[in-house]
Structure 1
């Protein structure tokens, strides 16, 4: 069997193992090991896995991952996310669709803490869904805005998706974080525009809530200062050069812990839950990265990246035609494969093609994350839609998917704008570095 056929067989085996329920990290580790043995030797496979596993586990830059995860879990446990939603609701809840808009803003703020789309969807779903239903919001808009708003978690920094991409492609985590800021703001604005259009044409979907007094608004805004301070400390510190991303993560986690203590939520059971959640999520991310460190050398040995680059350039579509074809393939695959898994599985093949076409790797990282966001709400396996269904158990899954479709269209618009105007993503990192 040729090296290319061995690579294709490895991909087929990987998807079979994932279909059987094997964790993606273990599946990549197994396929990578067997693949390197078949294309090189047992000694090479053993050396690759042991050496790469130690390198990943001891990589200083990767400490940003558990620290940001810890920061998000502490912020959630202390109620900071609820405070942000309450503040947004006090200012905008009296308008048509105001609660839905407050949910998007709350998701955007919480995304800047958690870096996880699923965590954003779960947290904001528990906070926002009962309120929207209490004020007779339509089930489609209520669930759709939570599922779509939760996807901001892997675009607005800090983002686990950006950290994974940076490690796998040897790019700067700080540059990627800065590259996600303006696209995150753009996508948030597009979501707010979608809500405005929905309630304009179907007013019953988002009736106006009660008007908050000035005193209530100011009180809610004061309570939201904690989460705003963390956002300014972390993202502002990285942008101004005061902190490296790792230092910013440490400062953010420390401040979130202080807020937990000041709010008298630092009970033993809460601390235990936060630590276990952080260990579980961090362990999953590190296992995926270790698996990818075995799978990527196997793909390189199989010469699939070279063959893929030759195939795409041979199509004669040009750089932008090729990238549009790649994004269509990602959008389809994202309907069936979880976003981070798809990222680590396909990057060893796709990234050399992108570099050969002359695209900026930081810009492509943002493009990749937006496409992965689309997969999070795409039927039939939109993970965020299933997460929201667990919160809104009185709503049919079909209604959740119907509710996210306008927001999916907004993501398409965002993607088109990023392709047409790359500076939206590159302005901040180029100015900072």
Structure 2
């Protein structure tokens, strides 16, 4: 059997296994092992699997993922996520769709200290969804806003996904982190714009919240934002200054 035929059958088998709800990682491992066995031999495939698994899981570079996740857990249990949402809420919550827009801002800021989109969505969603439900937001818009905002956590550095990608492709992780800032900010602004336009077209799906005065806004500024700025400036600024490497 030719290599091209094996490749085509492998792609087909991978799709079938995914449709059958096999975990993607296991499906890829199984298809790769079977394909390599056909092209070489089962013994060579077993040796290759053993060496590749060891080489990947013993990588010192990937140990930093644990530190990023740990930083996100510290931010979650310290209440920074709650403070960030209330800051964004006081600032722009009175606009049409303001609570959903504030959710995007809080997700972006929280993503600067947590490299996981799941953790970002879970942290901000636990705070934002009850508030949006309280002000009669459309369920579809509220949940979609939290899910979309969570994606910002993998773009704005530090990002676990960019770290894994940089390790796998042997690219500069520091440069990848720098490259993720602008797309993350642009995506956040686009999400905000879409929510604002939808709320203008149909105010019933995203009614504005109460307007806070400047004293309340300045008071909310003290909670959470400074801590995030310090952590973000230390981590990203340290990369620029050469104080430490990304890993």
Per the alignment, residue 114 of structure 2 pairs with 114
Between 1 and 2, higher relative CO (CA 8 Å, sep ≥ 6) is seen in 1
Q: Does 1:4 align with 2:4?
A: yes
The one-character-per-residue Cα deviations of 1:231-262 (angstroms, maximum 9, x if unpaired) are 2222232233323112xxxxxxxxxxxxxxxx
Q: Aligned to 1:9, what secondary structure does the other structure show?
A: helix
Asked whether the 8 Å contact 1:81–1:227 carries over to 2, the reply is no
The one-character-per-residue Cα deviations of 1:24-69 (angstroms, maximum 9, x if unpaired) are 2222222222221211123422232122112112212212222112
Gaps of 5+ in 1: 247-433
Shift of 1:104: 0.5
Q: Aligned to 1:61, what secondary structure does the other structure show?
A: coil
Q: Does 1:64 align with 2:59?
A: no
Per the alignment, residue 74 of structure 2 pairs with 74
Asked whether the 8 Å contact 1:18–1:27 carries over to 2, the reply is yes
Q: Aligned to 2:113, what secondary structure does the other structure show?
A: helix
Per the alignment, residue 237 of structure 1 pairs with 238
The one-character-per-residue Cα deviations of 1:8-35 (angstroms, maximum 9, x if unpaired) are 2122222223333332222222222222
Q: Aligned to 1:115, what secondary structure does the other structure show?
A: coil
* Greater helix content: 1
Q: Aligned to 2:190, what secondary structure does the other structure show?
A: helix
Shift of 1:168: 2.5
Within 2, Cα distance between the matches of 1:226 and 1:131?
24
Asked whether the 8 Å contact 1:103–1:128 carries over to 2, the reply is yes
Per the alignment, residue 228 of structure 1 pairs with 229
| Structure 1 stretches of at least 4 aligned residues deviating more than 4 Å after TM superposition | none
After superposition, where does 1:343-358 map in structure 2 within 5 Å?
A: none
Asked whether the 8 Å contact 2:154–2:160 carries over to 1, the reply is yes
Per the alignment, residue 31 of structure 1 pairs with 31
Q: Aligned to 1:22, what secondary structure does the other structure show?
A: coil
User: How much is the aligned-residue C-alpha RMSD, in angstroms?
Assistant: 1.9
Shift of 1:99: 1.4
Shift of 1:155: 1.6
Per the alignment, residue 148 of structure 1 pairs with 148
Per the alignment, residue 97 of structure 2 pairs with 97
Asked whether the 8 Å contact 1:178–1:239 carries over to 2, the reply is no
TM-score, scaled to structure 1:
0.53
Per the alignment, residue 180 of structure 1 pairs with 180
- How many residues were matched structurally? 246
TM-score, scaled to structure 2:
0.90
Gaps of 5+ in 2: none
Q: Aligned to 1:209, what secondary structure does the other structure show?
A: coil
Asked whether the 8 Å contact 2:110–2:120 carries over to 1, the reply is yes
Per the alignment, residue 47 of structure 1 pairs with 47
Per the alignment, residue 217 of structure 2 pairs with 217
